[in-house]
Chain A
């Protein structure tokens, strides 16, 4: 049946196809439609072609729609905001920390650095190594030439207060002789203290504590000062009271520091 260039049946079916694909049918109509399609192979083939074209058109229109959005982006580029790692609540938390910190500072003024400089002497004379002016203990003479020159250079640099370079030489030397030459290790520890590397100084000095070097209490004193240097007054006091006791040569210094710390 033709009418105005239109096949009425074809037109009817295409309307049905569109109504189905555009969700314009109620549940019963949908079910009837699906039943008819499944029972009529010719109609089913026509529907599949219609469905393909419908899907293809939607795909093309979607691309066009998104291309338009991209054009808007090109004309109005997004204002890139850097994502802040600080969340709003963190600001309040930080304010509280600063406030508490300030109050703590005002009420508990940390005088560790001041006390450290009062009690620590540069290039302390208490270091029991006979290397003043580069003269080493006799047993260093048993070293091979290379290592002898290395430790001699370390001591000379130490005497010159060039602690960074001295530390390098002491570290190299002590790695080569991990179980010998405790005085060289003590000097490496004091280099670390001079360079304000207190945690590393503690690691170096603590194993020396029970050694004969501590006979005059120098190692314990340096450990206590290392705690003080890093601001750990609690451990410094504990250390002074427990470890730096009878063997301490300068009891007056120990008591004076304890007194200053406990004021």
Chain B
């Protein structure tokens, strides 16, 4: 499989290819980071998770469309940058953790909003499977409506848009209802 083919498979969320690429470079990356920066295994694997997530995100958001270097070089570069950024931050806070690291594309909810996230998580679980799948394809996989239509067997693109609107509003109602009870938005 060429790099382009790999990127295409990753873009469509092919789980086997994701696992295969993830495993292909994992041990070498852990070894690289431990040798170069003398970090322990836990930190090294945490960095690799974050790097692989950022790599995946760059593909699905279209930020990475074509590789000018090898896939390995690109992935290692992301990991190295993430680690060095975190290292600089930890010099100020005396703590190394990648859990609150911002992704390259989206802002994350900070810890003060963790209660809201729990409410959202609960509301998401209460949605039907198809709604959950649709929202994930739309928001996380950044999939065009045309592809979502094919993947989830909708008749038209407009049906996808309508259904996405309904699913999202169903979720919003549940969240706001719980949030009102807990007074989280005031």
Q: Which residues of A contact B (CB under 8 A)?
A: 4-6, 10-11, 14-15, 18, 22-23, 49-50, 52-62, 65-66, 68-70, 72-73, 76, 78-81, 83-84
Contact = CB atoms under 8 A, between A and B. Distances in A.
A66 B41 contact: no
16 contacts: A5-B166, A6-B162, A14-B168, A18-B138, A22-B61, A22-B142, A53-B168, A54-B139, A58-B103, A59-B109, A59-B117, A60-B117, A66-B50, A66-B53, A70-B49, A81-B27
B109 A56 contact: yes
A60 B52 contact: no
B99 to A, nearest CB: 9
B93 interface: no
A72 B19 contact: yes
Contacts, number: 97
Given A49-B172, A80-B41, A81-B31, A56 B117 contact: yes
Interface in B90-145: 103, 105-109, 113, 116-117, 120-121, 124, 135-136, 138-140, 142
B175 interface: yes
B171 interface: yes
Nearest to B141: A61
Contacts of B160: none
A-B pairs, top 6 by smallest CB distance, nearest first, are A61-B140, A56-B120, A83-B35, A81-B31, A58-B106, A55-B109
B56 interface: yes
B61 A23 contact: yes
Query: Chain B interface mostly helix, strand, loop or mixed?
Result: helix
A66 B49 contact: yes
B154 interface: no
Contacts of A52: 109, 113, 116
B94 to A, nearest CB: 24
Interface of B: 15, 18-19, 22-23, 26-27, 30-31, 34-35, 38, 41, 45, 49-50, 52-53, 56, 61, 103, 105-109, 113, 116-117, 120-121, 124, 135-136, 138-140, 142, 161-162, 165-166, 168-169, 171-172, 175-176, 185
B140 A58 contact: yes
Given A14-B168, A83-B31, A55 B52 contact: no
Given A50-B172, A53-B120, 18 more contacts: A5-B166, A6-B166, A11-B165, A23-B61, A53-B175, A56-B117, A58-B106, A58-B140, A60-B117, A62-B108, A65-B140, A66-B50, A69-B52, A69-B53, A78-B27, A78-B45, A81-B30, A83-B35
Contact of B30 (A18, A61, A78): A78
Interface centre among B35, B106, B120 (most CB of A within 10 A): B106
Contacts of B31: 81, 83
Given A53-B172, A60-B124, A83-B31, A69 B166 contact: no
Nearest to B52: A69
Contact of A55 (B38, B50, B61, B107): B107
A66 B176 CA distance: 28
A103 B49 CA distance: 52
